[in-house]
Structure 1
């Protein structure tokens, strides 16, 4: 067997290294002459044929192995050594989650446990620092977080497990994405070593949620966890708010942090100098835009303010809007999500616009020479037919005396649907405040408001088939009565809704006076939203009366959350309008499909005993004469309660602008036409029964 011995070259290298350790000063020429692989002058000449002999440096360069000068411009150098936070060393990932919730001021969490997220649930076991609400379904947790965020202005926090737990929150995340609601969702995940193996309850939730979140991430290590949690809250609440998702593998939440982490990762920091400089540059550009917008406002004869939820993101937004509208004497209309942003008892209020908005708001939009859109995105339920939308504003824009001004924080929403004459990008409240000093005070606009008041008198929202003492209960009358009974506590009354006819009736017939008092699913139109959103809103504002105005079809989607309200003593009220059908769909089937009611009538449970089985007080009313008494009971009852109201069937939501029409081409209630419609319905139903 061959013996292993070190080579001669290796021995020479060791000897030379020993010589170097004892010699000072250091000489680069000595290294060059002593290095064994450079001992041959012939090889040296081949590699550097034209090079001159190197001069010897008696001592190293002053810059050798030294920190670069701090004033030197070099983007490749990291100038500062970050301050380290060692307060979390020794904590598990779950305990770090708990600590970060405390640092970020989280008071309430909505969620459902499961195997992959147990390290986090174990860490928050019996925590006295925040309340945990356990729903009956993860979708309920998501909608509760939405209601919480809408009522409080703070991000709603959701904590669920992997697989189905995560996928069940997809609908609430898309709902929050559509309506700009801040929400932070934490999902469990299988251990990192099992990802991609189709492990039990594994799902690519990051991939699945990419389209319905502002940002999502899977945390790869315990040291990364604080930074990702902080980033999630910053992104959810900055710009146009929205949902974010943080995926937490089980080995990350169970692992222990061994080393300190940069303090910026665990404590919110101030904006960088680069961010401040960018803001200053953008402000200079903004000033020029504001001047041009002020010129248009001062020139306009028939301006209108079209306001969406974007203005409500700032607490002072509604007050700024009122001051601006008063100074320039401009009428105000709001979107569904903007309801409450402007006091509807103000004479300048036009109420909601759009497909089921007031006829006078729609007419004003069509006749206005300057539309000032603030925090609204011109969605299809507002504009209807784009070619027919705002003809007078488009004409004024072509003549340089008006047009469409769009205040919007999200750049992609500008010119997405309607071409803006001027776009003011940034925070809507700040920019509207900046515009105000440049706008001339106008005491009155007699011609414009005379026209608006004429529309109001011809097409009032009270134009519907009126309630009679012995006739069936009209849903519009029920909501008007609720509005009257809460007239003195509007600032302490929050209304949530499901999706359907009841949602539109609530928007039309309840008088909205304060921000964050109307909570509904607008962009996505999620049936079942109302009940869990009411629970979240009540958790956020326990001092308020929170009423879920719901329809039977929508309520059926998430009715199990009644037991959540009972379990945690959350005193929400449910006003259930029961017409035993999917009312909005049957309305379309009546208008456009010749009364072919395809699968739009369902058999409901007995709601009162069902609610009582869940330990919720409940009553039922079917006579118009008893509505007021039962509504008072609902409002005054201590604890969660439900009132089922048996309403008239096949009642249309009017006004209505049919799809493909212009805003001015609306349908309104007409008594003669309503009689013809009912006769035709009876005739069609007879023909249908004969064919059967």
Structure 2
């Protein structure tokens, strides 16, 4: 069978089960775009910026567990997409980015938009390569799917020289669809783990990271209930265990509940399931001593290189979460019974008090009350996305995730992520509500993707928290340089007029009581919409106002 390089790209994508690819069209890969005309199995979503396209692919990879796909051009196109690759790398998201390159005859001449693909992306991917021979596309692109999904998932970047995509080669057979490879715990490790937990008096689980699925989450719920173990979820992994579960005790992330932080310090044994134990989950590496924690540490992670990176565990186990939880759910409780039930109950009580929407507000809009309304009215499968900013603290603290893959957010703290992610979520699950939380600064980084949502039929509800400042940076600025404001004020457009220009439904909320009606009107419209929520800049976090931060800095 004779195929062009561009046709082989689509052949392999179809063979691997791809049905959607995000990107911005470029002249360097016209042969792939042409091949997609004859591949209706794959929908090409043309974003308005390559960074947004990469964010969409990352969200799609998170939601499916299969590699999100992004197609961009050389030089500036790939550079624009870099932020999405960084997200996928830190978030352990399976993702494949295909980059159209200059022709092979023009390399090393600094030709138009030429750049060093491996030098730029090599440190932020699991694998970066250039396919110079069209005959090797089946081999190398199939390998990209295997690498992106096996072990600790992550991004792969493949360069596609423009002239290579036009070459005609003979292909006899395509490789079969890959099966991701995940390690499993050894029987002896499970015996050691059971013994360490049985000897504990105040154990605690931190769950997060990737390689989870619905079965793994269900098994975590069963294991925690059987062993009565308190479970905290790592930063932006709050959907690994339902917030309604009696063992769920909150999220170990930014703006952590002080009581939970102290409980992690006081635990005598910590079982970490899938989380990397980065600075956000450990409060800047302060909840556990580096490199040897005072708590006995059991670290389970799909990447052996991650175990012992910062913390030397008492027991390290290389395993994917699906295999690990399938084993844990069958583990017998201690013969002498559970001795830490009150410890778990107290941790749960701390969480319930912390997550009750009763935070004070300095203006007429109380975001905690709005989150309380969403807890009462949103279906369990509603998908919430966000980027970065202090507005996310209200979402993480007060919203109660009850189902796996209802939280799609970057652990890398990337602004502008929420809207592209919500669009990808709506396209992947059109039957579910897709809700983007954004600040005025975060939203303006990718707001042009409202046009993408309209063009491809995505339905998203944007909850736009507008306080006129870059809240997180202002908070740190006031802590370190009180009353010396520089660069942290935001000038914004008329968001109501902007939404109407894009053809969206729109509402403006200036006091808490207006939110319910505004939300229900937009939800029932069947269209994408924006709810601009005007918040007081004093409300930097649910716990600290701008004035308090300034006062504490004196």
How far did residue 460 of structure 1 move? 5.4
Residues 386 and 558 of structure 1: is their aligned pair in 2 closer, same or farther, counting only changes over 3 Å?
Answer: closer
Where does structure 1 lack aligned partners over 5 or more consecutive residues?
A: 1-88, 397-402, 655-667, 685-692
Residues 328 and 446 of structure 1: is their aligned pair in 2 closer, same or farther, counting only changes over 3 Å?
Answer: closer
* Secondary structure of 2:188's aligned partner: helix
Structure 2 counterpart of 1:308: 208
Structure 2 Cα separation of the partners of residues 165 and 424 of structure 1: 40
Structure 2 counterpart of 1:290: 190
Match of 1:321 among 220, 225, 249: 220
Structure 2 counterpart of 1:512: 401
Whether the 8 Å CA contact 1:424–1:431 is kept in 2: the answer is no
Does residue 474 of structure 2 align to residue 586 of structure 1? yes
- 1:353-378 per-residue CA deviation (whole Å, 9 max, x = no partner) reads 23312233222211111100000111
Structure 1 counterpart of 2:76: 164
Structure 2 Cα separation of the partners of residues 366 and 304 of structure 1: 10
Match of 2:453 among 536, 554, 565: 565
Alignment: residue pair count: 551
How far did residue 385 of structure 1 move? 5.2
Whether the 8 Å CA contact 2:538–2:546 is kept in 1: the answer is no
How far did residue 593 of structure 1 move? 2.4
Structure 1 counterpart of 2:384: 495
Structure 1 Cα separation of the partners of residues 220 and 148 of structure 2: 25
Aligned residue runs from structure 1 range 634-673, under 5 A: 634-654=522-542
Whether the 8 Å CA contact 1:298–1:439 is kept in 2: the answer is no
Structure 2 counterpart of 1:364: 263
Does residue 447 of structure 2 align to residue 544 of structure 1? no
Structure 2 Cα separation of the partners of residues 506 and 270 of structure 1: 35
Structure 1 counterpart of 2:325: 432
Structure 2 counterpart of 1:50: none
* Secondary structure of 2:462's aligned partner: strand
Aligned residue runs from structure 1 range 465-480, under 5 A: 465-466=360-361, 471-480=363-372
Structure 1 counterpart of 2:4: 92
How far did residue 485 of structure 1 move? 1.8
Whether the 8 Å CA contact 2:383–2:406 is kept in 1: the answer is yes
* Secondary structure of 1:321's aligned partner: helix
Structure 2 counterpart of 1:267: 176
* Secondary structure of 1:209's aligned partner: helix
Structure 2 Cα separation of the partners of residues 530 and 465 of structure 1: 26
Structure 1 ranges of 4+ moved more than 3 A: 268-271, 385-388, 393-396, 435-439, 441-447, 453-463, 678-681
How far did residue 157 of structure 1 move? 0.8
Structure 2 Cα separation of the partners of residues 395 and 266 of structure 1: 49
Structure 2 counterpart of 1:483: 375
Residues 527 and 109 of structure 1: is their aligned pair in 2 closer, same or farther, counting only changes over 3 Å?
Answer: same
- 1:540-559 per-residue CA deviation (whole Å, 9 max, x = no partner) reads 11111000011000001011
Structure 2 counterpart of 1:614: 502
How far did residue 111 of structure 1 move? 1.1
Structure 2 Cα separation of the partners of residues 362 and 588 of structure 1: 21
* Secondary structure of 2:3's aligned partner: coil
Structure 1 counterpart of 2:127: 215
- 1:396-432 per-residue CA deviation (whole Å, 9 max, x = no partner) reads 6xxxxxx110111111211112221101112123123
Does residue 313 of structure 2 align to residue 413 of structure 1? no
Structure 2 Cα separation of the partners of residues 541 and 634 of structure 1: 18
How far did residue 438 of structure 1 move? 3.9
Let me know the Cα RMSD of the aligned residues. Answer: 2.6
Structure 1 Cα separation of the partners of residues 327 and 154 of structure 2: 26
How far did residue 246 of structure 1 move? 1.0
- 1:451-493 per-residue CA deviation (whole Å, 9 max, x = no partner) reads 43564577555452158xxx5212222222222221xx112x0
Structure 2 Cα separation of the partners of residues 270 and 548 of structure 1: 32
* Secondary structure of 1:448's aligned partner: helix
* Secondary structure of 1:479's aligned partner: helix
Residues 458 and 556 of structure 1: is their aligned pair in 2 closer, same or farther, counting only changes over 3 Å?
Answer: closer
How far did residue 387 of structure 1 move? 5.9
* Secondary structure of 1:174's aligned partner: helix
- 1:299-355 per-residue CA deviation (whole Å, 9 max, x = no partner) reads 11111111012352x331101111110111101100123211101112211110233
Does residue 352 of structure 2 align to residue 464 of structure 1? no
Structure 1 counterpart of 2:243: 344
Whether the 8 Å CA contact 1:158–1:186 is kept in 2: the answer is yes
How far did residue 104 of structure 1 move? 1.1
Structure 1 counterpart of 2:315: 422
* Secondary structure of 1:240's aligned partner: coil
Does residue 168 of structure 2 align to residue 256 of structure 1? yes
* Secondary structure of 1:549's aligned partner: strand
- 1:152-188 per-residue CA deviation (whole Å, 9 max, x = no partner) reads 2221111112221122111100110000111111110
Structure 2 Cα separation of the partners of residues 335 and 158 of structure 1: 27
Structure 1 Cα separation of the partners of residues 282 and 204 of structure 2: 15
Whether the 8 Å CA contact 1:547–1:575 is kept in 2: the answer is yes
Question: Please, what TM-score do these two structures have when normalized by structure 1?
Answer: 0.75
Whether the 8 Å CA contact 1:143–1:529 is kept in 2: the answer is yes
Match of 1:108 among 7, 20, 26: 20
Structure 2 counterpart of 1:224: 136
Whether the 8 Å CA contact 2:247–2:348 is kept in 1: the answer is no
Whether the 8 Å CA contact 2:236–2:253 is kept in 1: the answer is no
Structure 2 counterpart of 1:604: 492
Structure 2 Cα separation of the partners of residues 142 and 152 of structure 1: 15
Moved more, 546-555 or 632-641: 632-641
* Secondary structure of 2:186's aligned partner: helix
Whether the 8 Å CA contact 1:150–1:537 is kept in 2: the answer is no
Higher helix share: 1
How far did residue 293 of structure 1 move? 1.2
